[in-house]
Structure 1
Amino acid sequence: MKTKKLLLTIAILFIALISGCANDDFEEVVGVCPVVSTTNPIDGAVGVPLNQIITATFNEAMNPATIDQSSFVLTVGGIPVSGTVTLSGAVATFTPNSLLAPNTVYAARIKTSAKDLTGNALQADYVWTFTTGIAPIIVSTDPANNATGVALNKIISATFNMPMNPLTLDGTTFTVKEGSNAVLGAITYSGSTVSFAPSLPLLANKVYTVTITNGAKNVAGTPMASNYVWSFTTVIPVIVTPPPTSTSGLFFGVFGGNAGITNQGLFTVVNGNIGTTAASTLMTGFQEVLTGDVYTITPLNKGLVTGEIFAAAPAPGNATKAATALIGLNAARAAYLSISPASMPGGIDPGAGQLGGLTLAPGVYKSNSGTFDITNGDLTLDAKGDPNAVFVFQTASALTVGNSLPRSVKLIGGALAKNVYWYVGSSAVINYAGGGVMTGNIIANSGVTLSSPANSTNASVTTLNGRAISLVSSVTMVNTVINVPN
């Protein structure tokens, strides 16, 4: 009995060995049957990227003539997906002609018409399925699409609905253009937001187009389904005519309201007149060059005034000087009102309160937040060849120029300091750390400070090419040179 069973087993094995694999016309060919050993994606895979290339690896090299669009198909809901089929040795590849649909089940099939090099056919269709991932989308942008009045120092950003792979967000996938001109800048990514910081301020009254391409991918490698494009328009400056007649009556280079003017240091020079409606005792640290009159000077605090000093008694102040100071105060008040938002409406905020690093054309500029800062770089004013070009800056509260580093206001294109005006609702602080060159007529309601006491014993001179006028509070300066424009 045992001998019969052994002979039967040997016979079955022999028949299997010589029978081989059936080809498509059912002729027997001796050899190994081709089978699919691995696939990419694997069967049942989820979250598959939309740009996935589908591959099937056989256990042996296959006949290229039998691996094509008819034997390797990809379908969704029974509908074929167009693509290209190639073979390299034992690996068959299906490359879709377009991105796959997000969150969709796909079925891949290798048919029995696929044969190996000796003509052996796949014994049964090999089918596997996979599900694509959810494509990342942009849920918000800043600026918004079609936004107008965008600040010239705007950082452009887009927020996705999921975390992204930051390596796919670069200068090739995130571009900003003005017409055909590419904008240079730095790209950063944090959380789910990508940001573009232009290297230079944007141009005024220009349309910019921003594109994030479908090369941007999430952390799973799933790309955006399509490019995302939006545009915005930068601010339009309000051009003004030459200054109102009331500004031409400004008499003082420095005016300390009814609270006086204080100087510290030995390097202060005011090339013009200074005044206050207060008593002369509130004018400290000055000597009038023409008359030699002194106003509370000390060995360490002595500034020179090349014009005249006007204050009320006691001497060297007197009633006549006090009357002249009052005339100057009224002229300053009139100038202050003439450049106010009420008199010159429509001012724009090109840098969202930050003027540092900008180059501006003539016009009216008003801070939306109520403060203007020049701390991120110098401000440049370009008159574009017009010597009568006027620049008016309006802030309801404070003006701050410089921080730990001095900042300057520079003039180009024929711009003149006398045609630059600063309307300050409260106080102005100019280069508290010392140094820098400020430009223009500062008319503040509640005080002007130039440099700080820390600079009183060094030669870090702060320069103002313009005027420092406070309607109510005092003006303080430390080693400051003021050149009053004609």
Structure 2
Amino acid sequence: MKSINTFFKYSTFTALFLAVFMVGCDNQNTGDNGDPDIDAPTVLATSPANNDADVARNIAVTITFSEAMDPATINATTFTLKQGTTTIPGTVTYSGTTATYTATNIFASADVYTANITTGAKSAQNVALTANTEWKFTTAGSNEPIAIVDLGTAGDYVILAKTAINNNPTSAITGDLGLSPAATSYITGFALTANTGYATSDQVTGQIFAADMADPTPSNLTTAVENMITAYNDAAGRPNPDFFELYDGNIGGKTLTSGLYKWTNTVLIPSDITISGSAEDVWIFQIAENLTLSSAVNITLSGGALAENIFWQVAGEVTIGTTTHFEGVILSMTGITLNSGATLNGRMLAQTAVVLDGNTVVQQ
């Protein structure tokens, strides 16, 4: 009798143990190969985040997962981007724990986009994402034209500087030149002819003004320089750029549509670019460091774009290469240098010096 009781005792214990073990197994995530104790991957973060607004129109959309994923399952089928019901063409890449969707074209301004990652995305252990994840963001910009940068009386000058205007003859300048608070002696290379309140030069189709000339020139120049600084601050302070760090600052060979552009580094133009838009469109380029154009580069305007509506706000130095052609209004905190044979349509407004070397400059 004792042996029978013992048999039932241990049989009951074994049955209970197996039941608990099976329940535990049922609560585990398993891969397709049936391995237990594998957690399903989740989405830790997205960029842009859900409901972000004023998102740069050239941004790459990214997802960061909780663990390494199977790259073969991260593709244009599982990771999609749409504008309404229209799929946005692009390229999907994966590295580390981050998937990136890079759109083929720049996003439209002030529009809503929807990104989605499906459960077709699987971890390196072949476990599916816990759930589809969808998020939306709105791009920067407006369907209305960007407000122009008001130059005030600084716009009366094709060249306006504070410390010096130096010229290596012979240049051909169309428009007035102004220098303040520096004196006439800091305008060099023009063979000036003095008049009351201004000077002239065979190289300038216009008049030349400096802070030590007769009234009302000093007062006019003080106002113009103040307006130049105000215009610089306006351009630099415009918020919510349409384009942020576009092409990492190397925009050679590109076509630039109207909008607000921002770079936190130097901008390089090693080859021709096109600025494309209508006569009403405005471009503002915010550049935190230098703007450098290589030799023999051409900036071309298309579609009716006007140089007077293109503003290059540059905190560092502007260097325009030999025989290069430039379009637009330069607002420089530092200095502007045109190398030999370079040409410019627009204006050069510098809070330090402007250096010329046999250049053609036309006010636009």
- 2:354 paired with 1:475: yes
Aligned partners of 1:441 and 1:376: how far apart in 2?
20
- Within the candidate set 334, 343, 352, 2:244 is matched to 352
Match of 1:284 in 2: 188
Which blocks of at least 5 consecutive residues in structure 1 are unaligned?
Answer: 1-75, 79-99, 107-127, 295-303, 314-318
**Aligned partner of 2:308 among 406, 418, 427:** 418
- Cα 1:166/1:418, change in 2 over 3 Å: same
Instruction: State the SS of the aligned residue for 1:334.
Output: helix
Give a deviation string over 1:325-358, Cα, whole Å, max 9, x none: 65244234235426744x9976322223548557
Q: Structure 1 residue 195: deviation in Å?
A: 1.6
Q: What is the match of residue 226 of structure 2? A: 333
Per the TM alignment, residue 176 of structure 1 is displaced from its structure 2 partner at its CA by 1.8
In the TM superposition, residue 478 of structure 1 has moved relative to its aligned partner by 4.5
Equivalent residue number for residue 271 of structure 1: 174
The C-alpha deviation readout for 1:265-291, integer Å capped at 9, x for no partner, is 76x5322222323334322344679x9
Change (3 A) 1:405 1:208: farther
Closer/same/farther in 2, CA of residues 175 and 241 from structure 1, 3 Å limit: closer
Whether the 8 Å contact between 2:318 and 2:336 is mirrored in structure 1 is: yes
Of 324, 336, 339, 1:449 maps to: 336
State the TM-score, normalizing by the size of structure 2. Answer: 0.71
Q: Do the aligned residues in 1 keep the contact of 2:270 with 2:293 (CA within 8 Å)?
A: no
Residue aligning to 1:203: 108
Q: Which structure's relative contact order is higher, taking Cα pairs within 8 Å and 6+ residues apart?
A: 2
Offset at 1:255?
A: 1.6
Q: CA deviation at 1:104?
A: 4.9
Query: Which residue in the other structure is 1:233 paired with?
Result: 138
Bigger Cα Rg: 1
Equivalent pair of 1:253/1:468 in contact (CA under 8 Å):
yes
After superposition, the Cα gap between the structure-2 partners of 1:430 and 1:344, relative to the gap in structure 1 and judged at 3 Å, is: closer
CA positional deviation for 1:207: 0.9
Q: Please tell me the root mean square deviation across aligned C-alpha atoms, in Å.
A: 4.2
Following superposition, the deviation at residue 190 of structure 1 comes to 2.2
Q: Does structure 2 conserve the Cα–Cα contact (< 8 Å) formed by 1:206 and 1:234?
A: yes
Q: Which one has a larger percent helix, Structure 1 or Structure 2?
A: 2
Q: Is the aligned partner of 1:183 residue 2:79? A: no
Q: CA deviation at 1:441?
A: 2.5
Q: What is the DSSP-based 3-state SS (H/G/I as helix, E as strand, rest coil) of the residue aligned with 1:250?
A: helix
Partner of 2:345: 465
Q: CA deviation at 1:292?
A: 8.5
SS in 2 for 1:275: strand
Per-residue CA deviations over 1:435-477 (Å, capped at 9, x if unaligned) read 6544332333x333235xxx54xx5x3x432111124x11124
Deviations 1:359-399 (CA, angstroms, capped at 9, x unpaired): 4546xx485x877846699574534xxx4555556x5x846
- Pairing 1:220–2:125 present: yes
**Alignment partner, residue 15 of structure 2:** none
Instruction: State how 1:307-386 maps to structure 2 within 5 Å.
Output: 307-311=206-210, 319-320=213-214, 324=217, 327-334=220-227, 336-337=229-230, 340-341=233-234, 347-352=239-244, 354=246, 356=251, 359-361=256-258, 365=260, 373=267, 378=273, 380=275, 382-383=277-278
Asked if residue 484 in structure 1 is aligned to residue 363 in structure 2, the reply is yes
CA shift, 1:161, in A, is: 1.1
Q: Say whether 1:429 aligns with 2:318.
A: yes
Number of residue-to-residue matches in the alignment: 329
Find the residue that maps to 2:230 and give its secondary structure.
helix
Deviations 1:32-84 (A, max 9, x none): xxxxxxxxxxxxxxxxxxxxxxxxxxxxxxxxxxxxxxxxxxxx859xxxxxx
How far has the Cα of 1:138 moved from its partner? Answer: 1.6
Q: Distance in 2 between matches of 1:193 and 1:216?
A: 12
Q: Which amino acid aligns with 2:137?
A: F
* Deviation (angstroms), 1:162: 1.1
Contact persistence 1:211–1:230 (CA under 8 A): yes
Q: Which structure 2 residues correspond to residues 167-182 of structure 1 after superposition, within 5 A?
A: 167-182=72-87
Q: Compute the TM-score of the two structures, normalised by the length of structure 1.
A: 0.55
* Structure 1 residues 297-320: Cα deviation after superposition (integer angstroms, max 9, x where no partner): xxxxxxx4333333467xxxxx34
Q: Which residue identity lines up with residue 291 of structure 2 in the other structure?
A: V
Change in CA separation of 1:282 and 1:242 when aligned onto 2, cut-off 3 Å: closer
SS in 1 for 2:243: coil
Q: 1:400 aligned to 2:290?
A: yes
Distance in 1 between residues matched to 2:303 and 2:356, nearest whole Å: 30
Residue 269 of structure 1 contacts residue 482 of structure 1 at CA under 8 Å; is this kept in 2? yes
1:353–1:373 CA contact under 8 A, matched in 2: no
2:62 equivalent among 157, 168, 177? 157
- The amino acid of 2:164's aligned partner reads G
- Does the CA contact (< 8 Å) of 1:339 and 1:392 recur in 2? no
C-alpha distance 233-372 of structure 1, shift in aligned 2 (>3 A): farther
1:450 maps to a residue whose letter is T
DSSP-derived class of the 2:224 partner: helix
